Structure 1
Amino acid sequence: MQNFVMSMLWFWICYFAVTMIGVLHTVFNIYVLKMSPMDETGMGEGYEKTKPWHPLYNIILFSIFGWLYMRGLSVPTLKEALVTGGIWAGVCIIVDVIGWVIIKHPWSLSFKEFYINYQPWITLIYLVIFVGPVIGYLFV
């Protein structure tokens, strides 16, 4: 049986962890590897070089956190994993548009930068977030 509170707890911990890994990877590229930072003309090499890694961070972490959630259910099912994946991907899409596009900050992106220029990575990320709980279920 779905436990929405626990599902959201595991989701938010994972979302924060994935975001921090991506930010730290970018900062590492800029300050340690001396890649160009984000500026008025674009995202900069420091960020651009992290893009292919984003789906990898997400598939690893969302599968682990999907497993943590699924093993906490009394009787985990494939249906529960699919529902959880759908909820997680849906919440992520809404939070991303608010946090990375609508709310302006030094690392915010335009709609085009986030949903067009960030292809295929953003689509792969949403797919692996959806699949994460299913992979977790397979290991329960």
Structure 2
Amino acid sequence: MQDFAMSMLWLWICYFMVTIVGVLHTVFNIYALKMSPMDEKGMGEGYEKTKPWHPLYNVILFSIFGWLYMRGLSVPNLEEALITGAIWAGVCIIIDVLGWVIIKHPWSLSFKEFYIHYQPWITLIYLVIFMGPVIGYLFV
């Protein structure tokens, strides 16, 4: 039986960690590898070079946190994993549009940048977020 509070706890910890890993990777590229930073013309090489790595961060971390959540259930099953994955993906889609597109900040993107220029990475990311609890379930 689903434990919504624990599901959200693991989701938010994982989402925060994935975001931090992505930001740190970008900062590393800019400062250690001397790649160009974001400017008024675009996201810059430091960020652009991290894009292919984003699905990898997500599949690793969301699978670990999916496993942590699924192992905490009294009777984990595939249906719970699929429901949890759908909820996690849905929440992340909503938070991403708010946090990366609608709310303006130095690293915010336009709808076009986030949903067109960030392909295929954003689609792969949402797919692996959905699959995280399923992969976690397979290891329980």
* Alpha-carbon distance in 1 for matches of 2:135, 2:111: 30
Describe the SS at the equivalent of 1:52: helix
Amino acid at match of 1:14: C
Within 5 Å, which residues of 2 pair with 1:115-126?
Answer: 115-126=115-126
How far off is 1:86 after superposition? Answer: 0.1
Correspondence for 1:28: 28
How far off is 1:87 after superposition? Answer: 0.2
Correspondence for 1:92: 92
Q: Deviations over 1:25-69 (max 9, x none)?
A: 000000000000000000000000000000000000000000000
* Alpha-carbon distance in 2 for matches of 1:114, 1:25: 18
Please report the TM-score for the alignment, with normalisation by the length of structure 1: 1.00
Correspondence for 2:101: 101
Describe the SS at the equivalent of 1:92: helix
Instruction: Say whether residues 1:56 and 2:56 are aligned partners.
Output: yes
How far off is 1:108 after superposition? Answer: 0.1
Which runs of no fewer than 5 residues in structure 2 stay unpaired? Answer: none
Amino acid at match of 1:123: T
Please report the TM-score for the alignment, with normalisation by the length of structure 2: 1.00
Percent of pairs with identical residues:
88
Correspondence for 2:40: 40
Q: Deviations over 1:59-111 (max 9, x none)?
A: 00000000000000000000000000000000000000000000000000000
Which runs of no fewer than 5 residues in structure 1 stay unpaired? Answer: none
Number of residue pairs the alignment of both structures matches: 140
Amino acid at match of 2:41: T
* Alpha-carbon distance in 1 for matches of 2:10, 2:43: 30
CA RMSD of aligned residues (A): 0.2
Correspondence for 1:82: 82
Runs of 4+ in 1 over 2 A off after TM superposition: none
Describe the SS at the equivalent of 1:137: helix
